[in-house]
Amino acid sequence: MESNNRYQNVLTRFDQLGEELGKPENIRNRDLYRKIARERSDLEKAVLAIRRYLDCEKRYAEDRAAVEQGDDRELVEMARAEMAEIEKQMRAEEESIKVLLLPRDPDDSRNTVFEIRAGTGGDEAALFAADLARMYRLYSERHGWKVEDLSSSPTEIGGFKESIFLVTGENAYGKLKFESGVHRVQRVPVTEAGGRIHTSAVTVAVLPEAEDVDIHIDQKDLRVDVFRSRGPGGQSVNTTDSAVRITHIPTGMVVQCQDEKSQLKNRVKALKVLMARLLEKARSEQDEKIAAARRVMIGSGDRSDKIRTYNFPQGRVTDHRIGLTIYNLKGVLDGELDGIVDALALAHREELLKREMEAGSRAGGA
């Protein structure tokens, strides 16, 4: 009965949100309209599952009445057999609804800013940073997402000291948020003449793209410097001061962008990165308890965490947080990440379900 009341509340909320979307004042308010539409979209799959469950419940009651009141033995047996099938379907729908109604990260539906940086390992780390940037681009293409370069620092041998780009698409952050952390590679570098295996590391930070309503930046808090773009060897690659460096004075955060020939475009891209970083800082400070719980469960994405190893001699990829090993290194680097991403999401859901059950048990005991 309690679950049915909860289901009805979800259905009522879904209908209310539909009405809110049709109100002219909400249509005119783009930020509010987007917020309402996002909440309704988040509930849609749960609503469909709840409707299937309630339909099963109705059919079950009809069959039970047929069994209790029926005189035709054959029809009674058919009703009993159908009741058994309906019970199985109801249990499956209930499990599905539990998952779909778990508290969602409000950032999941956002676009995401990727920051990939070479760590320990010199040139080899920079080359692997380029490999990871390519891997995430190919993965994004598989999901129909758009990738926009924000900033990069290429090396002379084809690697990246740093690569920052924006991934735009449905549920981009929700899919990619567990990729934050230190990615370790074990292979023979192209620069190694002796054939020895080296271990290098690259840091990956995955940040939800900030919206204007999230972060307010006072222009007086920004120091903007312009300079000429530089190539991998330090040579000037532009004849105008198009590169932009923005310093957020209150926090000391510094962002620079030189990929575009237009100073204005570089400034816009740099501000996107700065806003994403400021949003991440604000969320970290406000939700440290939640972040700590997430760290225990599946890794924080903190850059000191070694979350994954790419072992070239054995052709394997191992995610250390969930003990998952895949012997398809080439495929993973070509963007076939769904096996890892889905396994991480499943582990996250299972932990959330466990916490919900524990909270329910404590409430029941009280």
Query: What are the mean pLDDT values of the chain's consecutive 10-residue runs (366 residues total)?
Result: 77 92 91 86 90 93 88 86 93 85 78 91 92 96 93 89 92 91 90 78 88 71 82 52 88 87 87 85 63 42 70 95 95 96 87 72 58
Q: Which among 56, 52, 47 is positioned nearest to 12, based on CA atoms?
A: 47
Question: What pLDDT is stored for residue 359 in this prediction?
Answer: 64
Question: What pLDDT is stored for residue 25 in this prediction?
Answer: 93
Question: What pLDDT is stored for residue 168 in this prediction?
Answer: 94
Q: Which among 208, 343, 227, 191 is positioned nearest to 284, based on CA atoms?
A: 208
Question: What pLDDT is stored for residue 294 in this prediction?
Answer: 39
- The vertex-93 CA angle with 91 and 94, nearest 5°, equals 65
CA pair distance 267, 239, nearest whole angstrom: 17
Q: How many other C-beta atoms lie within 10 A of the C-beta of residue 196?
A: 8
Question: What pLDDT is stored for residue 357 in this prediction?
Answer: 67
**Cα of 56 vs its chain's centroid, Å:** 34
- The vertex-76 CA angle with 73 and 82, nearest 5°, equals 145
pTM of this structure = 0.63
Angle separating helix axes 288-298 and 338-365, nearest 10 degrees: 120
Q: How many other C-beta atoms lie within 10 A of the C-beta of residue 79?
A: 19
Token pair 């000037």 is at which residue? 236
Q: Which among 183, 345, 211 is positioned nearest to 282, based on CA atoms?
A: 211
Question: What pLDDT is stored for residue 288 in this prediction?
Answer: 62
